[in-house]
Amino acid sequence: MTNINERHLALKILEEVDKKHIFVSQVIDDYFQHEDLTKQQRSFISKLVYGVIENQILINYYIHASSSVKNNKIKPVIRIILQLGIYQLLFLDKVPAHAAINEAVKLVKKRKMFQLRGFVNGVLRNIERNHEDIYAKIQALPFEQRLSITYSVKEELIKYLLEMYEAGELEAYLKSSLAVKDTCIRTNILKQSPTALKERLSKKYTVRDGYLFDEAFYLSDYNRLEDVEGFREGCFQVQDESSMCVARLVNQKAKSIIDVCSAPGGKVTHLAELKEDQASIIACDVSQKKVQKIDDNCKRLALHSITTQVADASQYNEAWKDAFDCVLADVPCSGLGILRTKPDIKMNMSLEKIESLIKIQKEILDNVHQYVKIGGELIYSTCTINSNENEKQMHWFLDRYPNFEKVDLSKERLDESIQPFVKDGYIRLLTHTSKTDGFFIAKLRRIK
């Protein structure tokens, strides 16, 4: 085992996330690339970092209930040390309470803030003694406030989503978003059969079958993804089952296809595989950095039918007018369907940001519908459960563009596994029922 203090590295990662206001995955991946860590160390650090991010409002409530100092008056580094200690006290049964507290005090010493050792020790010992009473107080709070604290989602977002979902369903979804998610992978069927891939991977890792598709598996007990057997050879691609639905909705006869918001390329590479690498596919995104990710995946998967291009989906390209049998538009969205994968969203998303995203979605739809041939199709998708970004956007679009019609997906020939999630002609996936990410897909056809 390398000589690294896992808790101190977790502290450094959380400090950087706090200062730069960026997704934790970006920071943690960077640290893991540059630190010599064992699989166990990476696992523990990830558990600490994501655990704090995922439960931040709840953990901060415990601090507030156990300290006379207001949260905003506590030094950021001390607040994060407390958060790490509280997460271990509340959620990690294998870490003894005395160890969680002592290690937190050691972090204070390591940062040479000796005068605050007693404060950190006192707050954590209060929580150790009184955590059941604090939990009971949370459960007695009004419903919206209880959900906000229990699942660490801003109360304004709770109220917003309660306009769309019944209380029980929303709570079931939020609870499912706290579940541990293994890495979902998609077999590259042009390289290997799903059966052969599963047999190969099962010799070294834990592999579970997918919920919806035969080519999907859930992978765990590995160290670095790039070192997993078969990854560099292009035998599989990381992709959630929810987004695997998109390529399956593309008409079998479609030959010319464009994916306007493609990075990192999961949907478009899946489509190329289903088309046996014979279709003509353009994959675009807004920056060279994003397009490079698509290129890297195409090269690794040995796919040749995809051409990439830097292009802003909201900006018109005359050369693409009426040019495609199918346009894929997986638009920027609030991400409220992927809270278990990107828990940062719970703290960073706001109603104002959602409104700005809705505007961007409209701008993209206003533009890319012009690329669809008469008789061609536009497939719109998001990884959010917000009906204002999903169904209402489709209503707006169809009112605005009468030359398009909604394709009722309940009348399409779909995989039996997808059919239960078709409602009002759209695909709606919710984690607590589908076991996948939350996702929305609509299909529109140009009729004139």
Which pLDDT tens digit goes with each residue over 296-340?
Answer: 999 999 999 999 999 999 999 999 999 999 999 999 999 999 999
Residue pointed to by tokens 């009906």:
387
| Parts of the chain belonging to CATH 3.40.50.150 | 242-446
Q: Which pLDDT does position 23 carry in this prediction?
A: 87
Confidence of residue 72 (pLDDT cuts 50, 70, 90): confident
Q: Is the pLDDT of residue 122 over 90?
A: yes
Confidence of residue 222 (pLDDT cuts 50, 70, 90): very high
Q: Residue range 166-194: average pLDDT?
A: 96
Confidence of residue 3 (pLDDT cuts 50, 70, 90): confident
For residue 159, give every residue at least 6 positions away whose Cβ sits within 8 Å of its Cβ, in sequence order, or none: 144
Residue 443's φ and ψ, nearest 5 degrees, are -125, 130
Residue pointed to by tokens 């169809």:
398
Q: Is the pLDDT of residue 271 over 70?
A: yes
Cβ atoms within 10 Å, residue 112: 7
Q: Residue range 151-166: average pLDDT?
A: 98
Strands (E), 47-146: none
Q: Which CATH number fits the domain 6-140, given the four candidates 3.30.465.10, 3.20.20.100, 1.10.940.10, 3.40.50.20?
A: 1.10.940.10
In the 8-state DSSP scheme, what is residue 55?
A: T
Q: Which pLDDT does position 1 carry in this prediction?
A: 43
Confidence of residue 248 (pLDDT cuts 50, 70, 90): very high
Confidence of residue 2 (pLDDT cuts 50, 70, 90): low
> pTM of the entire structure?
0.95
Strand order in the sheet with 183-187: 206-209, 216-220, 183-187, 236-238
Q: Residue range 199-227: average pLDDT?
A: 96
Q: Across the chain, what does the average pLDDT equal?
A: 96
Q: Which CATH number fits the domain 242-446, given the four candidates 3.40.30.10, 3.40.50.150, 3.40.50.2300, 3.40.50.300?
A: 3.40.50.150
Q: Report percent pLDDT > 90 for the chain.
A: 93
| Parts of the chain belonging to CATH 1.10.940.10 | 6-140
Q: How many helices (H) and strands (E) does the chain have?
A: 18, 13
Architecture of domain 183-238: 2-Layer Sandwich (3.30)
Cα–Cα distance for residue pair 318/296, rounded to 1 Å: 28
Cα–Cα distance for residue pair 284/3, rounded to 1 Å: 44
Confidence of residue 35 (pLDDT cuts 50, 70, 90): confident
Q: Is 118 exposed, middle or buried (0-12, 13-18, 19+ CB in 10 A)?
A: exposed
